[in-house]
Structure 1
Amino acid sequence: MKNILLSLICILLFASCNNSVKNNDGKLNIVTTTTMITDLVKNIGKDSVRVQGLMGSGVDPHLYKASEGDVSKLTGADVVFYSGLHLEGKLVDVFEKMGRNTNTIALAEVLDKNTLIGSEYFASSYDPHIWFNIDYWRQITKYLTEELSKLDPENATFFKKNETAYLKKLDALEKEIKEAIKTLPKEKRILVTAHDAFNYFGKEYGFEVVGLQGLSTATEAGVQDVQKLAQLIIEKEVKAIFIETSVPRRTIEALQQAVKSEGFDVKIGGTLYSDALGSAGTDEGTYLGMFKYNVNTIVKALK
Protein backbone atom coordinates (compact mmCIF):
# COMPACT_ATOMS: atom_id res chain seq x y z
CA MET A 1 0.00 0.00 0.00
CA LYS A 2 2.88 2.39 0.85
CA ASN A 3 4.44 1.82 -2.59
CA ILE A 4 1.12 2.54 -4.31
CA LEU A 5 0.67 5.70 -2.27
CA LEU A 6 4.19 6.96 -3.00
CA SER A 7 3.76 6.25 -6.70
CA LEU A 8 0.41 7.99 -6.72
CA ILE A 9 1.79 11.10 -5.04
CA CYS A 10 4.77 11.28 -7.41
CA ILE A 11 2.55 11.00 -10.46
CA LEU A 12 0.16 13.61 -9.09
CA LEU A 13 2.94 16.09 -8.42
CA PHE A 14 4.36 15.62 -11.90
CA ALA A 15 1.04 15.74 -13.70
CA SER A 16 -0.20 18.81 -11.84
CA CYS A 17 2.41 20.93 -13.62
CA ASN A 18 0.88 19.99 -16.96
CA ASN A 19 -2.82 20.27 -16.14
CA SER A 20 -4.78 23.03 -17.85
CA VAL A 21 -8.22 24.16 -16.80
CA LYS A 22 -10.96 22.78 -19.09
CA ASN A 23 -10.61 20.14 -21.80
CA ASN A 24 -10.66 20.54 -25.55
CA ASP A 25 -14.45 20.22 -25.49
CA GLY A 26 -14.67 23.15 -23.09
CA LYS A 27 -15.82 21.09 -20.13
CA LEU A 28 -14.21 21.09 -16.72
CA ASN A 29 -12.88 17.68 -15.74
CA ILE A 30 -13.94 17.19 -12.12
CA VAL A 31 -13.09 14.35 -9.76
CA THR A 32 -15.14 13.84 -6.61
CA THR A 33 -14.83 11.46 -3.68
CA THR A 34 -18.16 10.58 -2.04
CA THR A 35 -21.42 9.91 -3.84
CA MET A 36 -23.04 12.88 -2.09
CA ILE A 37 -20.51 15.29 -3.56
CA THR A 38 -20.71 13.64 -6.98
CA ASP A 39 -24.47 14.14 -6.98
CA LEU A 40 -24.14 17.79 -5.95
CA VAL A 41 -21.62 18.58 -8.67
CA LYS A 42 -23.89 17.00 -11.26
CA ASN A 43 -26.80 19.13 -10.08
CA ILE A 44 -24.83 22.38 -10.34
CA GLY A 45 -22.59 21.64 -13.32
CA LYS A 46 -25.00 19.43 -15.26
CA ASP A 47 -23.84 18.80 -18.85
CA SER A 48 -21.29 21.64 -18.80
CA VAL A 49 -18.85 19.56 -16.73
CA ARG A 50 -17.41 16.07 -16.78
CA VAL A 51 -17.66 14.37 -13.37
CA GLN A 52 -15.83 11.25 -12.23
CA GLY A 53 -16.58 9.92 -8.75
CA LEU A 54 -14.02 7.78 -6.97
CA MET A 55 -16.54 6.10 -4.68
CA GLY A 56 -19.69 4.28 -5.68
CA SER A 57 -22.86 3.18 -3.93
CA GLY A 58 -22.26 1.36 -0.65
CA VAL A 59 -18.60 2.41 -0.44
CA ASP A 60 -17.37 3.42 3.00
CA PRO A 61 -15.33 6.67 2.72
CA HIS A 62 -13.74 6.07 6.13
CA LEU A 63 -11.95 3.00 4.78
CA TYR A 64 -11.53 3.88 1.11
CA LYS A 65 -7.95 3.66 -0.18
CA ALA A 66 -6.58 5.13 -3.38
CA SER A 67 -6.00 2.45 -5.98
CA GLU A 68 -3.68 2.53 -8.97
CA GLY A 69 -6.81 2.87 -11.09
CA ASP A 70 -7.55 6.23 -9.41
CA VAL A 71 -4.30 7.75 -10.67
CA SER A 72 -5.51 8.60 -14.17
CA LYS A 73 -8.67 10.22 -12.78
CA LEU A 74 -6.82 12.37 -10.30
CA THR A 75 -4.01 13.41 -12.61
CA GLY A 76 -6.44 14.43 -15.34
CA ALA A 77 -8.63 16.54 -13.07
CA ASP A 78 -8.97 20.30 -13.30
CA VAL A 79 -10.30 20.23 -9.76
CA VAL A 80 -10.88 17.62 -7.07
CA PHE A 81 -13.78 18.16 -4.68
CA TYR A 82 -13.77 16.19 -1.45
CA SER A 83 -15.66 16.40 1.82
CA GLY A 84 -12.85 16.99 4.31
CA LEU A 85 -12.91 16.80 8.12
CA HIS A 86 -11.00 13.53 7.69
CA LEU A 87 -14.06 11.73 6.33
CA GLU A 88 -11.83 10.31 3.61
CA GLY A 89 -9.30 9.26 6.23
CA LYS A 90 -7.21 6.96 4.02
CA LEU A 91 -6.96 9.64 1.30
CA VAL A 92 -5.79 12.49 3.53
CA ASP A 93 -2.10 12.05 2.72
CA VAL A 94 -2.83 12.04 -1.00
CA PHE A 95 -4.98 15.18 -0.85
CA GLU A 96 -2.50 17.04 1.33
CA LYS A 97 0.22 16.38 -1.23
CA MET A 98 -2.07 17.30 -4.10
CA GLY A 99 -3.16 20.49 -2.36
CA ARG A 100 0.24 22.06 -2.89
CA ASN A 101 0.19 21.70 -6.66
CA THR A 102 -3.30 20.70 -7.76
CA ASN A 103 -6.66 22.36 -7.23
CA THR A 104 -8.14 20.29 -4.40
CA ILE A 105 -11.07 21.71 -2.45
CA ALA A 106 -12.42 20.38 0.85
CA LEU A 107 -16.03 21.53 0.79
CA ALA A 108 -16.59 21.22 4.54
CA GLU A 109 -13.99 23.94 5.09
CA VAL A 110 -16.66 26.55 4.32
CA LEU A 111 -18.56 25.62 7.48
CA ASP A 112 -18.12 27.43 10.78
CA LYS A 113 -16.31 24.89 12.95
CA ASN A 114 -17.83 26.43 16.08
CA THR A 115 -21.17 24.97 14.98
CA LEU A 116 -19.88 21.47 14.25
CA ILE A 117 -20.20 18.48 16.56
CA GLY A 118 -16.89 17.67 18.22
CA SER A 119 -15.46 14.17 17.90
CA GLU A 120 -12.44 12.54 19.46
CA TYR A 121 -12.59 9.77 16.85
CA PHE A 122 -11.18 11.94 14.06
CA ALA A 123 -7.94 13.86 13.60
CA SER A 124 -10.02 16.89 12.62
CA SER A 125 -11.79 16.65 16.01
CA TYR A 126 -15.16 17.06 14.29
CA ASP A 127 -17.94 14.73 13.21
CA PRO A 128 -17.59 14.68 9.39
CA HIS A 129 -21.15 13.53 8.52
CA ILE A 130 -22.23 17.09 7.72
CA TRP A 131 -24.60 16.20 4.85
CA PHE A 132 -27.29 15.22 7.38
CA ASN A 133 -27.68 18.89 8.23
CA ILE A 134 -29.55 20.41 5.28
CA ASP A 135 -28.44 23.95 6.15
CA TYR A 136 -24.82 22.82 5.94
CA TRP A 137 -25.61 21.31 2.55
CA ARG A 138 -27.01 24.67 1.44
CA GLN A 139 -23.76 26.36 2.43
CA ILE A 140 -21.74 23.72 0.61
CA THR A 141 -23.94 24.11 -2.48
CA LYS A 142 -23.20 27.85 -2.55
CA TYR A 143 -19.49 27.30 -1.98
CA LEU A 144 -19.30 24.71 -4.75
CA THR A 145 -21.10 27.06 -7.13
CA GLU A 146 -18.64 29.86 -6.34
CA GLU A 147 -15.64 27.62 -6.96
CA LEU A 148 -17.03 26.30 -10.25
CA SER A 149 -17.72 29.87 -11.37
CA LYS A 150 -14.10 30.84 -10.66
CA LEU A 151 -12.84 27.92 -12.72
CA ASP A 152 -15.31 28.47 -15.56
CA PRO A 153 -16.50 32.12 -15.59
CA GLU A 154 -18.23 31.64 -18.93
CA ASN A 155 -20.72 29.30 -17.30
CA ALA A 156 -21.10 31.29 -14.06
CA THR A 157 -24.67 32.35 -14.88
CA PHE A 158 -25.57 28.75 -15.74
CA PHE A 159 -24.12 27.49 -12.44
CA LYS A 160 -25.96 30.19 -10.49
CA LYS A 161 -29.27 29.28 -12.14
CA ASN A 162 -28.76 25.63 -11.20
CA GLU A 163 -27.79 26.61 -7.67
CA THR A 164 -31.00 28.58 -7.23
CA ALA A 165 -33.10 25.66 -8.47
CA TYR A 166 -31.29 23.19 -6.23
CA LEU A 167 -31.60 25.37 -3.14
CA LYS A 168 -35.36 25.46 -3.68
CA LYS A 169 -35.36 21.68 -3.78
CA LEU A 170 -33.44 21.58 -0.49
CA ASP A 171 -36.01 23.92 1.06
CA ALA A 172 -38.83 21.64 -0.13
CA LEU A 173 -36.97 18.58 1.17
CA GLU A 174 -36.59 20.07 4.63
CA LYS A 175 -40.26 21.01 4.79
CA GLU A 176 -41.31 17.51 3.73
CA ILE A 177 -39.15 15.65 6.22
CA LYS A 178 -40.19 17.91 9.09
CA GLU A 179 -43.81 17.09 8.34
CA ALA A 180 -43.01 13.37 8.32
CA ILE A 181 -41.09 13.55 11.62
CA LYS A 182 -43.99 15.40 13.29
CA THR A 183 -46.03 12.21 12.99
CA LEU A 184 -43.55 10.37 15.25
CA PRO A 185 -44.04 11.01 19.01
CA LYS A 186 -41.00 12.62 20.62
CA GLU A 187 -40.52 9.77 23.09
CA LYS A 188 -40.08 7.37 20.17
CA ARG A 189 -37.35 9.37 18.47
CA ILE A 190 -34.46 7.09 19.40
CA LEU A 191 -32.29 6.12 16.45
CA VAL A 192 -29.97 3.13 16.90
CA THR A 193 -27.63 2.42 13.98
CA ALA A 194 -24.36 0.66 13.20
CA HIS A 195 -22.21 3.79 13.65
CA ASP A 196 -22.78 7.42 14.64
CA ALA A 197 -23.37 8.89 11.21
CA PHE A 198 -26.65 10.55 12.19
CA ASN A 199 -25.69 12.95 14.98
CA TYR A 200 -26.31 16.05 12.87
CA PHE A 201 -29.65 14.60 11.85
CA GLY A 202 -30.51 13.92 15.48
CA LYS A 203 -29.50 17.41 16.58
CA GLU A 204 -31.63 19.06 13.90
CA TYR A 205 -34.75 16.94 14.26
CA GLY A 206 -34.84 15.96 17.91
CA PHE A 207 -33.63 12.35 17.82
CA GLU A 208 -31.49 10.63 20.40
CA VAL A 209 -28.88 8.93 18.23
CA VAL A 210 -26.80 5.96 19.35
CA GLY A 211 -24.26 4.27 17.10
CA LEU A 212 -22.75 0.93 17.96
CA GLN A 213 -19.34 1.59 16.40
CA GLY A 214 -18.86 5.24 17.21
CA LEU A 215 -18.41 7.92 14.56
CA SER A 216 -15.98 6.02 12.35
CA THR A 217 -16.52 2.58 10.85
CA ALA A 218 -12.79 2.07 11.32
CA THR A 219 -13.53 1.34 14.98
CA GLU A 220 -14.91 -2.00 16.10
CA ALA A 221 -17.71 -2.55 18.60
CA GLY A 222 -16.81 -4.82 21.51
CA VAL A 223 -18.95 -7.19 23.56
CA GLN A 224 -19.43 -4.58 26.28
CA ASP A 225 -20.59 -2.02 23.72
CA VAL A 226 -23.21 -4.46 22.44
CA GLN A 227 -24.43 -5.34 25.94
CA LYS A 228 -24.60 -1.72 27.04
CA LEU A 229 -26.63 -0.71 24.00
CA ALA A 230 -28.88 -3.75 24.37
CA GLN A 231 -29.78 -2.58 27.87
CA LEU A 232 -30.60 0.90 26.60
CA ILE A 233 -32.90 -0.55 23.94
CA ILE A 234 -34.73 -2.63 26.55
CA GLU A 235 -35.02 0.21 29.07
CA LYS A 236 -36.41 2.65 26.50
CA GLU A 237 -38.45 0.00 24.68
CA VAL A 238 -37.01 0.88 21.30
CA LYS A 239 -39.05 -0.86 18.61
CA ALA A 240 -36.47 -0.95 15.81
CA ILE A 241 -32.77 -0.66 15.05
CA PHE A 242 -31.21 0.01 11.66
CA ILE A 243 -28.60 -1.40 9.32
CA GLU A 244 -26.49 0.90 7.12
CA THR A 245 -25.60 0.19 3.49
CA SER A 246 -21.91 1.01 3.96
CA VAL A 247 -21.45 -0.98 7.18
CA PRO A 248 -21.55 -4.80 7.55
CA ARG A 249 -24.92 -5.89 8.97
CA ARG A 250 -23.39 -8.39 11.38
CA THR A 251 -22.91 -5.77 14.14
CA ILE A 252 -26.59 -4.83 14.20
CA GLU A 253 -27.65 -8.48 13.96
CA ALA A 254 -25.43 -9.23 16.96
CA LEU A 255 -27.10 -6.39 18.84
CA GLN A 256 -30.54 -7.75 17.96
CA GLN A 257 -29.60 -11.19 19.30
CA ALA A 258 -28.23 -9.66 22.50
CA VAL A 259 -31.55 -7.88 23.05
CA LYS A 260 -33.55 -11.05 22.34
CA SER A 261 -31.41 -13.03 24.80
CA GLU A 262 -32.72 -10.66 27.50
CA GLY A 263 -36.32 -11.42 26.58
CA PHE A 264 -37.06 -8.26 24.59
CA ASP A 265 -37.87 -8.25 20.89
CA VAL A 266 -36.44 -5.51 18.69
CA LYS A 267 -36.83 -5.64 14.93
CA ILE A 268 -34.48 -4.46 12.22
CA GLY A 269 -36.38 -1.49 10.88
CA GLY A 270 -34.65 -1.33 7.53
CA THR A 271 -31.43 -0.27 5.85
CA LEU A 272 -30.37 3.38 5.94
CA TYR A 273 -28.01 5.25 3.65
CA SER A 274 -25.32 6.89 5.77
CA ASP A 275 -21.90 7.35 4.17
CA ALA A 276 -22.99 6.70 0.58
CA LEU A 277 -26.03 7.15 -1.63
CA GLY A 278 -27.97 4.35 -3.28
CA SER A 279 -27.44 2.92 -6.74
CA ALA A 280 -27.18 5.31 -9.66
CA GLY A 281 -30.45 5.78 -11.50
CA THR A 282 -32.61 5.30 -8.40
CA ASP A 283 -34.23 7.92 -6.18
CA GLU A 284 -31.94 6.84 -3.34
CA GLY A 285 -29.00 7.46 -5.66
CA THR A 286 -29.57 11.20 -5.16
CA TYR A 287 -29.07 13.29 -2.04
CA LEU A 288 -32.71 14.39 -2.05
CA GLY A 289 -34.05 10.87 -2.55
CA MET A 290 -31.69 9.37 0.02
CA PHE A 291 -32.77 11.83 2.70
CA LYS A 292 -36.48 11.26 2.09
CA TYR A 293 -36.02 7.49 2.01
CA ASN A 294 -34.11 7.51 5.31
CA VAL A 295 -36.68 9.64 7.10
CA ASN A 296 -39.64 7.60 5.84
CA THR A 297 -37.90 4.36 6.82
CA ILE A 298 -37.09 5.64 10.31
CA VAL A 299 -40.53 7.07 11.02
CA LYS A 300 -42.39 4.00 9.75
CA ALA A 301 -40.26 1.58 11.78
CA LEU A 302 -40.34 3.53 15.06
CA LYS A 303 -44.06 4.35 15.08
Structure 2
Amino acid sequence: MKQLILLALLSVSLLSCKDTRPKDGKFHIITTTSMITDLVENIGGDKVEVQGLMGAGVDPHLYKASEGDVSKLSNANMILYSGLHLEGKLVEVFEKMKRQNINTVAISDALDKKDLIGSTLFESNYDPHIWFDVKNWELITVFVEKQLSEALPEHKEYFKANAVTYLEKLKVLKEEIEAEIATLPEDKRRLVTAHDAFNYFGKAYKFDVVGLQGLSTATEAGVQDVQKTAAYIIDHKVKAVFIESSVPRRTVEALKAAVNSKKHEVVIGGTLFSDALGNPGTPEGTYIGMFKFNVHTIVSALK
Protein backbone atom coordinates (compact mmCIF):
# COMPACT_ATOMS: atom_id res chain seq x y z
CA MET A 1 0.00 0.00 0.00
CA LYS A 2 2.78 2.41 0.94
CA GLN A 3 4.46 1.76 -2.43
CA LEU A 4 1.20 2.51 -4.29
CA ILE A 5 0.80 5.78 -2.40
CA LEU A 6 4.37 6.76 -3.25
CA LEU A 7 3.84 6.02 -6.95
CA ALA A 8 0.65 8.06 -6.92
CA LEU A 9 2.48 10.98 -5.38
CA LEU A 10 5.20 10.56 -7.97
CA SER A 11 2.69 10.74 -10.80
CA VAL A 12 1.11 13.91 -9.42
CA SER A 13 4.52 15.46 -8.90
CA LEU A 14 5.63 14.63 -12.42
CA LEU A 15 2.50 16.02 -14.01
CA SER A 16 3.17 19.36 -12.41
CA CYS A 17 6.97 19.37 -12.64
CA LYS A 18 7.18 21.92 -15.45
CA ASP A 19 5.35 24.46 -13.31
CA THR A 20 7.14 23.75 -10.06
CA ARG A 21 10.80 23.81 -11.10
CA PRO A 22 12.81 26.32 -9.03
CA LYS A 23 12.59 29.86 -10.37
CA ASP A 24 15.67 31.09 -8.48
CA GLY A 25 17.89 31.11 -11.57
CA LYS A 26 20.10 28.29 -10.28
CA PHE A 27 20.77 25.05 -12.12
CA HIS A 28 19.69 22.29 -9.75
CA ILE A 29 21.37 18.89 -9.94
CA ILE A 30 20.25 15.90 -7.88
CA THR A 31 22.79 13.13 -7.40
CA THR A 32 22.36 9.73 -5.81
CA THR A 33 25.55 8.42 -4.18
CA SER A 34 27.98 10.57 -2.24
CA MET A 35 30.77 9.74 -4.72
CA ILE A 36 28.80 11.37 -7.53
CA THR A 37 27.88 14.33 -5.34
CA ASP A 38 31.55 14.98 -4.59
CA LEU A 39 32.50 14.73 -8.26
CA VAL A 40 29.79 17.11 -9.48
CA GLU A 41 30.65 19.63 -6.78
CA ASN A 42 34.27 19.60 -7.95
CA ILE A 43 33.35 20.18 -11.59
CA GLY A 44 30.22 22.32 -11.26
CA GLY A 45 31.59 24.64 -8.59
CA ASP A 46 29.45 27.68 -7.90
CA LYS A 47 27.66 27.50 -11.26
CA VAL A 48 25.35 24.72 -10.09
CA GLU A 49 23.52 23.71 -6.94
CA VAL A 50 24.09 20.06 -6.08
CA GLN A 51 22.00 18.00 -3.68
CA GLY A 52 22.76 14.35 -2.93
CA LEU A 53 20.06 11.91 -1.93
CA MET A 54 22.39 9.48 -0.13
CA GLY A 55 24.73 10.56 2.63
CA ALA A 56 27.51 8.88 4.57
CA GLY A 57 26.88 5.23 5.42
CA VAL A 58 23.85 4.90 3.11
CA ASP A 59 23.59 1.68 1.11
CA PRO A 60 22.47 2.49 -2.49
CA HIS A 61 21.50 -1.14 -3.14
CA LEU A 62 18.67 -0.88 -0.60
CA TYR A 63 17.77 2.81 -0.92
CA LYS A 64 14.12 3.62 -1.57
CA ALA A 65 12.81 7.02 -2.63
CA SER A 66 10.91 8.97 0.02
CA GLU A 67 8.16 11.46 -0.74
CA GLY A 68 10.71 14.24 -0.28
CA ASP A 69 13.06 12.58 -2.75
CA VAL A 70 10.31 12.39 -5.36
CA SER A 71 9.74 16.13 -5.01
CA LYS A 72 13.46 16.90 -5.32
CA LEU A 73 13.87 14.69 -8.37
CA SER A 74 10.82 16.07 -10.16
CA ASN A 75 12.03 19.65 -9.61
CA ALA A 76 15.61 19.03 -10.77
CA ASN A 77 17.19 20.40 -13.92
CA MET A 78 19.47 17.35 -14.09
CA ILE A 79 19.71 14.00 -12.30
CA LEU A 80 22.99 12.08 -12.18
CA TYR A 81 22.99 8.52 -10.91
CA SER A 82 25.44 5.63 -11.04
CA GLY A 83 23.49 3.09 -13.10
CA LEU A 84 24.13 -0.62 -13.70
CA HIS A 85 21.35 -1.24 -11.15
CA LEU A 86 23.44 0.04 -8.24
CA GLU A 87 20.36 2.03 -7.19
CA GLY A 88 18.17 -0.95 -7.94
CA LYS A 89 15.06 0.27 -6.13
CA LEU A 90 15.08 3.62 -7.96
CA VAL A 91 15.11 2.32 -11.54
CA GLU A 92 11.37 2.89 -12.09
CA VAL A 93 11.61 6.41 -10.69
CA PHE A 94 14.47 7.28 -13.07
CA GLU A 95 12.50 5.97 -16.05
CA LYS A 96 9.53 8.14 -15.13
CA MET A 97 11.79 11.18 -14.86
CA LYS A 98 13.20 10.52 -18.33
CA ARG A 99 9.70 10.28 -19.77
CA GLN A 100 8.99 13.72 -18.31
CA ASN A 101 12.03 15.11 -20.17
CA ILE A 102 14.11 15.66 -17.07
CA ASN A 103 17.77 15.23 -18.03
CA THR A 104 18.48 11.95 -16.21
CA VAL A 105 21.95 10.52 -16.81
CA ALA A 106 23.75 7.36 -15.65
CA ILE A 107 27.45 8.10 -15.17
CA SER A 108 28.24 4.47 -16.02
CA ASP A 109 27.43 5.42 -19.64
CA ALA A 110 30.91 6.97 -19.69
CA LEU A 111 32.47 3.51 -19.74
CA ASP A 112 32.80 1.00 -22.55
CA LYS A 113 30.94 -2.20 -21.73
CA LYS A 114 34.06 -4.22 -22.54
CA ASP A 115 35.82 -2.55 -19.61
CA LEU A 116 33.11 -3.53 -17.14
CA ILE A 117 33.37 -6.62 -14.96
CA GLY A 118 30.63 -9.05 -15.88
CA SER A 119 28.42 -10.89 -13.43
CA THR A 120 25.70 -13.45 -13.98
CA LEU A 121 24.56 -12.87 -10.40
CA PHE A 122 23.62 -9.18 -10.74
CA GLU A 123 20.58 -7.84 -12.55
CA SER A 124 22.51 -5.59 -14.96
CA ASN A 125 25.00 -8.42 -15.66
CA TYR A 126 27.78 -6.03 -14.67
CA ASP A 127 29.46 -5.20 -11.39
CA PRO A 128 28.25 -1.65 -10.60
CA HIS A 129 31.11 -0.64 -8.23
CA ILE A 130 32.94 1.19 -11.02
CA TRP A 131 34.46 3.95 -8.85
CA PHE A 132 37.03 1.58 -7.35
CA ASP A 133 39.29 1.91 -10.37
CA VAL A 134 40.61 5.48 -10.55
CA LYS A 135 40.93 5.15 -14.34
CA ASN A 136 37.16 4.70 -14.52
CA TRP A 137 36.69 7.80 -12.39
CA GLU A 138 38.89 9.79 -14.77
CA LEU A 139 36.66 8.81 -17.71
CA ILE A 140 33.57 9.64 -15.67
CA THR A 141 35.04 13.05 -14.79
CA VAL A 142 35.35 13.88 -18.49
CA PHE A 143 31.83 12.55 -19.11
CA VAL A 144 30.27 14.65 -16.33
CA GLU A 145 32.11 17.77 -17.54
CA LYS A 146 30.61 17.18 -20.99
CA GLN A 147 27.11 16.76 -19.55
CA LEU A 148 27.37 20.03 -17.62
CA SER A 149 28.86 21.87 -20.59
CA GLU A 150 26.02 20.76 -22.86
CA ALA A 151 23.44 21.82 -20.28
CA LEU A 152 25.11 25.16 -19.51
CA PRO A 153 27.24 26.07 -22.55
CA GLU A 154 27.84 29.58 -21.21
CA HIS A 155 29.98 28.01 -18.45
CA LYS A 156 31.74 25.47 -20.67
CA GLU A 157 35.26 26.83 -20.10
CA TYR A 158 34.69 27.00 -16.36
CA PHE A 159 33.63 23.36 -16.19
CA LYS A 160 36.53 22.30 -18.40
CA ALA A 161 39.06 24.11 -16.20
CA ASN A 162 37.61 22.48 -13.07
CA ALA A 163 37.72 19.06 -14.70
CA VAL A 164 41.38 19.53 -15.70
CA THR A 165 42.23 20.50 -12.12
CA TYR A 166 40.38 17.48 -10.73
CA LEU A 167 42.01 15.12 -13.23
CA GLU A 168 45.41 16.33 -12.01
CA LYS A 169 44.38 15.45 -8.46
CA LEU A 170 43.30 11.98 -9.62
CA LYS A 171 46.66 11.52 -11.29
CA VAL A 172 48.42 12.30 -8.02
CA LEU A 173 46.04 9.94 -6.21
CA LYS A 174 46.96 7.08 -8.54
CA GLU A 175 50.66 7.66 -7.96
CA GLU A 176 50.25 7.74 -4.18
CA ILE A 177 48.11 4.63 -3.85
CA GLU A 178 50.23 2.64 -6.31
CA ALA A 179 53.33 3.50 -4.28
CA GLU A 180 51.67 2.36 -1.05
CA ILE A 181 50.26 -0.85 -2.56
CA ALA A 182 53.72 -1.66 -3.93
CA THR A 183 54.92 -2.07 -0.33
CA LEU A 184 52.59 -5.05 0.07
CA PRO A 185 53.88 -8.31 -1.47
CA GLU A 186 51.56 -9.73 -4.11
CA ASP A 187 51.10 -12.98 -2.18
CA LYS A 188 49.53 -10.94 0.65
CA ARG A 189 47.11 -9.07 -1.59
CA ARG A 190 44.01 -10.98 -0.53
CA LEU A 191 41.09 -8.71 0.33
CA VAL A 192 38.14 -10.24 2.22
CA THR A 193 35.26 -7.84 2.83
CA ALA A 194 31.60 -7.75 3.80
CA HIS A 195 30.25 -7.70 0.24
CA ASP A 196 31.64 -7.95 -3.25
CA ALA A 197 32.34 -4.25 -3.86
CA PHE A 198 36.07 -4.29 -4.60
CA ASN A 199 36.43 -6.28 -7.83
CA TYR A 200 37.47 -3.24 -9.87
CA PHE A 201 40.01 -2.39 -7.17
CA GLY A 202 41.29 -5.96 -7.25
CA LYS A 203 41.63 -6.00 -11.02
CA ALA A 204 43.42 -2.65 -11.11
CA TYR A 205 45.83 -3.32 -8.25
CA LYS A 206 46.27 -7.12 -8.40
CA PHE A 207 44.31 -8.15 -5.33
CA ASP A 208 42.43 -11.40 -4.98
CA VAL A 209 39.05 -10.16 -3.75
CA VAL A 210 36.48 -12.19 -1.80
CA GLY A 211 33.14 -10.76 -0.68
CA LEU A 212 31.12 -12.50 2.00
CA GLN A 213 27.89 -11.28 0.40
CA GLY A 214 27.33 -10.94 -3.34
CA LEU A 215 27.51 -7.78 -5.45
CA SER A 216 24.31 -6.49 -3.89
CA THR A 217 23.71 -6.22 -0.16
CA ALA A 218 20.09 -7.14 -0.86
CA THR A 219 21.23 -10.77 -0.63
CA GLU A 220 22.39 -11.79 2.83
CA ALA A 221 25.29 -14.13 3.51
CA GLY A 222 24.27 -17.61 4.65
CA VAL A 223 26.02 -20.28 6.66
CA GLN A 224 27.57 -21.79 3.51
CA ASP A 225 28.95 -18.39 2.49
CA VAL A 226 30.58 -17.99 5.89
CA GLN A 227 32.05 -21.51 5.82
CA LYS A 228 33.38 -21.13 2.28
CA THR A 229 34.99 -17.77 3.04
CA ALA A 230 36.43 -19.09 6.31
CA ALA A 231 38.06 -21.95 4.41
CA TYR A 232 39.57 -19.46 1.95
CA ILE A 233 41.03 -17.39 4.80
CA ILE A 234 42.58 -20.43 6.45
CA ASP A 235 43.92 -21.93 3.21
CA HIS A 236 45.60 -18.66 2.19
CA LYS A 237 46.67 -17.60 5.72
CA VAL A 238 44.84 -14.27 5.44
CA LYS A 239 45.64 -12.08 8.46
CA ALA A 240 42.73 -9.61 8.36
CA VAL A 241 39.20 -9.15 7.08
CA PHE A 242 37.32 -5.89 6.67
CA ILE A 243 33.92 -4.51 7.51
CA GLU A 244 32.28 -1.77 5.42
CA SER A 245 30.76 1.51 6.50
CA SER A 246 27.47 0.92 4.66
CA VAL A 247 27.02 -2.78 5.53
CA PRO A 248 26.13 -4.23 8.98
CA ARG A 249 29.20 -5.74 10.63
CA ARG A 250 27.48 -8.81 12.07
CA THR A 251 28.30 -11.11 9.14
CA VAL A 252 32.01 -10.25 9.28
CA GLU A 253 31.97 -10.81 13.04
CA ALA A 254 30.43 -14.25 12.38
CA LEU A 255 33.13 -14.93 9.79
CA LYS A 256 35.89 -13.98 12.23
CA ALA A 257 34.40 -16.29 14.88
CA ALA A 258 34.17 -19.16 12.39
CA VAL A 259 37.82 -18.77 11.42
CA ASN A 260 39.08 -18.40 14.97
CA SER A 261 37.13 -21.51 16.02
CA LYS A 262 39.31 -23.48 13.62
CA LYS A 263 42.51 -22.31 15.38
CA HIS A 264 43.42 -19.73 12.74
CA GLU A 265 43.72 -16.21 14.04
CA VAL A 266 42.20 -13.49 11.90
CA VAL A 267 41.45 -9.92 12.96
CA ILE A 268 39.13 -7.23 11.68
CA GLY A 269 41.56 -4.95 9.88
CA GLY A 270 39.32 -1.91 9.92
CA THR A 271 36.29 -0.34 8.27
CA LEU A 272 36.40 0.38 4.54
CA PHE A 273 34.23 2.84 2.67
CA SER A 274 32.53 0.93 -0.14
CA ASP A 275 29.17 2.24 -1.40
CA ALA A 276 29.34 5.62 0.34
CA LEU A 277 31.93 8.20 1.37
CA GLY A 278 32.66 9.24 4.93
CA ASN A 279 31.09 12.13 6.83
CA PRO A 280 31.08 15.55 5.12
CA GLY A 281 33.92 17.77 6.26
CA THR A 282 36.31 14.85 6.83
CA PRO A 283 39.03 13.69 4.40
CA GLU A 284 37.06 10.46 3.90
CA GLY A 285 34.06 12.57 2.88
CA THR A 286 35.71 13.06 -0.52
CA TYR A 287 36.42 10.47 -3.21
CA ILE A 288 40.16 11.11 -3.07
CA GLY A 289 40.30 11.01 0.72
CA MET A 290 38.18 7.85 0.81
CA PHE A 291 40.46 6.06 -1.61
CA LYS A 292 43.61 7.00 0.32
CA PHE A 293 42.01 5.90 3.59
CA ASN A 294 40.92 2.54 2.16
CA VAL A 295 44.31 1.75 0.67
CA HIS A 296 46.17 2.70 3.84
CA THR A 297 43.78 0.60 5.95
CA ILE A 298 44.11 -2.43 3.67
CA VAL A 299 47.89 -2.31 3.31
CA SER A 300 48.50 -1.68 7.02
CA ALA A 301 46.32 -4.60 8.09
CA LEU A 302 47.62 -7.14 5.56
CA LYS A 303 51.35 -6.47 5.96
TM-score by length of 1: 0.97
Is the deviation greater in 58-67 or in 46-55? 46-55
> How much does 1:17 deviate?
3.3
Match of 2:6 in 1: 5
Match of 1:73 in 2: 72
SS in 2 for 1:278: coil
> How much does 1:14 deviate?
1.1
SS in 1 for 2:16: helix
**One-letter amino acid of the counterpart of residue 182, structure 2:** K
Match of 1:299 in 2: 299
Structure-1 separation of matches of 2:25 and 2:183: 49
Structure-1 separation of matches of 2:294 and 2:258: 25
Deviations 1:70-91 (A, max 9, x none): 1221122100000000000000
Q: How does 1:1-303 map to 2 (within 5 A)?
A: 1-18=2-19, 24-101=23-100, 102-303=102-303
Residues paired across the two proteins, number:
301
> How much does 1:143 deviate?
0.8
SS in 1 for 2:268: strand
Structure-2 separation of matches of 1:142 and 1:18: 32
Structure-1 separation of matches of 2:97 and 2:13: 7
Deviations 1:174-227 (A, max 9, x none): 010000000000000000000000000000000000000011100111101101
Q: CA 1:297–1:60 in structure 2 vs 1: closer, same or farther (change >3 Å)?
A: same
**How many percent identity over aligned positions?**
63
The unaligned stretches of length 5 or more in structure 1 are none
Is the deviation greater in 250-259 or in 66-75? 66-75
Is the deviation greater in 186-195 or in 40-49? 40-49
**One-letter amino acid of the counterpart of residue 3, structure 2:** K
- Kept after mapping to 1: 8 A contact 2:82/2:108: yes
Structure-2 separation of matches of 1:169 and 1:15: 42
**One-letter amino acid of the counterpart of residue 79, structure 2:** V
SS in 2 for 1:247: coil
Deviations 1:228-250 (A, max 9, x none): 11011011110000000000000
Structure-2 separation of matches of 1:204 and 1:19: 45
